[in-house]
Amino acid sequence: MEAAKRLLSPEFEQRFESSADSWFTNIVSITNIEVGGPVPEVPEGNGMSGYQQGVQVLTHFDLEQRTVVSMHNGATSWGYMLARESDGDPWLIVSQGMG
């Protein structure tokens, strides 16, 4: 779980850990994961403010949750906003939403 948390921006981790459908408390399984290519985004809004570089990445996967909240069980498409300060920095998930 600590490895997964390192992929999140500090702000997103704080918001996400307290959400009803947190990856860390609500997910039973995620299988058949497909990750699309990054689409450049201007780093404004969507949790990207303050970062120099931003991309959106669309994913498709089969999801099983304990409680259905923002995503349904079964085949799911979901988008993630990633941001970083410079080319040498790791990408961090700063936001998520419908893909």
Structure tokens at 43: 């780093």
Q: Write down the pTM of the prediction.
A: 0.81
Q: Are 82 and 38 in contact (CB under 8 A)?
A: yes
Q: How confident is the model at residue 42 (pLDDT cuts 50, 70, 90)?
A: confident
Question: Tell me: the pLDDT tens digits for 6-38?
Answer: 877 878 777 766 677 777 788 899 999 999 999
Confidence grade of residue 47 (pLDDT, cut at 50, 70, 90): confident
Query: What is the pLDDT confidence band of residue 99, given thresholds at 50, 70 and 90?
Result: low
Domain borders along the chain are 2-98
Mean of pLDDT values over 64-93? 92
CA 59 to chain centre: 9
